Structure 1
């Protein structure tokens, strides 16, 4: 066993189901997920997934916290991301310098954040707004297209485009026929809003859907494995150092 200065450690790799070294205190797991009580984490997230490894790089000394700062990266299911991280090492001497630690004694305390329970409301609002505008413009275009074509086919003077106009005198005005209801701008806007809502619901359902037991040809598909997600993404978080 030997001692090392934290400032001399350029990087650390923490593995699941591996233990640290121990001299003054017993060894501890290299990866320790802190549930809920760790600032920045959510409850009931540690049980969703355990990363196989987390790689942390030394980003230098922070004069404010008076500790080495780390950048930690791992691959997690797309619905999870790293919360707060903290590298914890065994101090070589109980009353010695905090920068002097036992080699191989460092562990990582981390928390997980479930992004599904923290939706970005700002992006959702903007998406819905632009969806309403898009469908409203589409409704107006379709209204002008079909109603314009109908007017061109029926003619200006009535259903018979070849009929001559009636004689006009101040005392012989033709009674105005009641015009049938036609959709207007506000109707198009309402249709656009409904379409945008349905489109948003379809996107949400599509992003969380899984393959059915049968495909479109009636063939049986194997059931998808049970788990929080099957898409993995790289996630990075930053934190400092403490000792035990």
Structure 2
């Protein structure tokens, strides 16, 4: 009777031992592991962790590899050494790496839980790519204070100043010394109409054509403000066109860079940590 009751207990122990043996692996016998972005490790004594986790480097948070494969390259006398490879954007490379595995019964157990290994890595820029990116950003930030903008503002200020100065001079010429109209010219008759100013001189006579030619003093005097306003409009149009062209050029450059970015295989080397 007692032997029949002990049989189920023995079967349960054997089943538990079989399950333990299936997920209990000697770490030095592991030759390769494949790790994927967004996947979690297994966990027995502790919680699962991400298979791929960036822990530092200049490019941390900018890019993450999709898949990394790590190979057992032997032991340094204390633990397994790894070489990890990944195909990634050629602007980035793997830095220092550490393969972290969960010890089966304790952190220093030579046996690990199957599927518990993950990779902690640093991500760096390839030579020169980081500095180019920062330099481009700095140039874009400084684009709003270009010399062309300063010239445009100076021209606009000069136009405004000239406008008010010329307007004041014209007012002074039309008025008398005390602010009243000047005295009438000789020969002026009261009630004759007009504003008390002499009539304009007649246009010069052209002997060749037998006609009077129109004077140009009036049009010349009016050409000054028109010229400066036209110059201001031209400067403004040129400035806006330059800004638009620079913006389009920067955008197209970024598009070409992203469209033609190639990939390469990057490798990192490191040891093992236990948890």
Which residue of structure 2 lines up, in the alignment, with residue 69 of structure 1? Answer: 81
What's the C-alpha RMSD, in Å, of the aligned pairs? 2.8
- Of residues 52, 55, 62, the one that matches 1:31 is 52
CA–CA separation in structure 2 for the residues paired with 1:8 and 1:29 = 23
Which residue of structure 2 lines up, in the alignment, with residue 243 of structure 1? Answer: 274
Q: Does the Cα contact within 8 Å between 2:60 and 2:124 map onto a contact in 1?
A: no
- CA distances 1:2-41 after superposition (whole Å, capped 9, x unpaired): 2111111010000011010000101011000012xxxxx2
- Of residues 102, 105, 115, the one that matches 1:90 is 102
Shift of 1:50: 1.1
Q: Does the Cα contact within 8 Å between 1:48 and 1:228 map onto a contact in 2?
A: no
Which residue of structure 2 lines up, in the alignment, with residue 117 of structure 1? Answer: 130
Shift of 1:210: 8.0
- CA distances 1:110-143 after superposition (whole Å, capped 9, x unpaired): 0111122379xxxxxxxxxxxxxxxxxxxxxxxx
Q: Does the Cα contact within 8 Å between 1:51 and 1:74 map onto a contact in 2?
A: yes
Q: Does the Cα contact within 8 Å between 1:82 and 1:235 map onto a contact in 2?
A: yes
Structure with a larger share of its residues in helix: 2
Which residue of structure 1 lines up, in the alignment, with residue 148 of structure 2? Answer: none
2:115 alignment partner, SS class: coil
Question: Is 1:20 aligned to residue 41 of structure 2?
Answer: yes
Which residue of structure 2 lines up, in the alignment, with residue 38 of structure 1? Answer: none
- Of residues 98, 116, 134, the one that matches 1:105 is 116
Shift of 1:224: 2.8
Question: Stretches of 4+ moved more than 4 A in 1?
Answer: 225-229
Distance change >3 Å, CA 77–CA 25, structure 1 → 2: same
CA–CA separation in structure 2 for the residues paired with 1:17 and 1:46 = 16
Gap runs ≥5 in structure 1: 36-40, 120-208, 214-222
Q: Does the Cα contact within 8 Å between 1:16 and 1:53 map onto a contact in 2?
A: yes
CA–CA separation in structure 1 for the residues paired with 2:119 and 2:268 = 12
Distance change >3 Å, CA 26–CA 47, structure 1 → 2: same
1:7 alignment partner, SS class: helix
1:34 alignment partner, SS class: strand
Structure 1 residues 107-186: aligned runs within 5 Å: 107-115=118-126, 116-117=129-130
Distance change >3 Å, CA 228–CA 82, structure 1 → 2: farther
CA–CA separation in structure 1 for the residues paired with 2:41 and 2:256 = 33
Which residue of structure 2 lines up, in the alignment, with residue 212 of structure 1? Answer: 252
CA–CA separation in structure 2 for the residues paired with 1:102 and 1:227 = 41
CA–CA separation in structure 1 for the residues paired with 2:54 and 2:32 = 20
- Of residues 87, 90, 115, the one that matches 1:78 is 90
Gap runs ≥5 in structure 2: 1-19, 133-248
Which residue of structure 2 lines up, in the alignment, with residue 47 of structure 1? Answer: 61
CA–CA separation in structure 1 for the residues paired with 2:258 and 2:252 = 16
CA–CA separation in structure 2 for the residues paired with 1:99 and 1:228 = 47
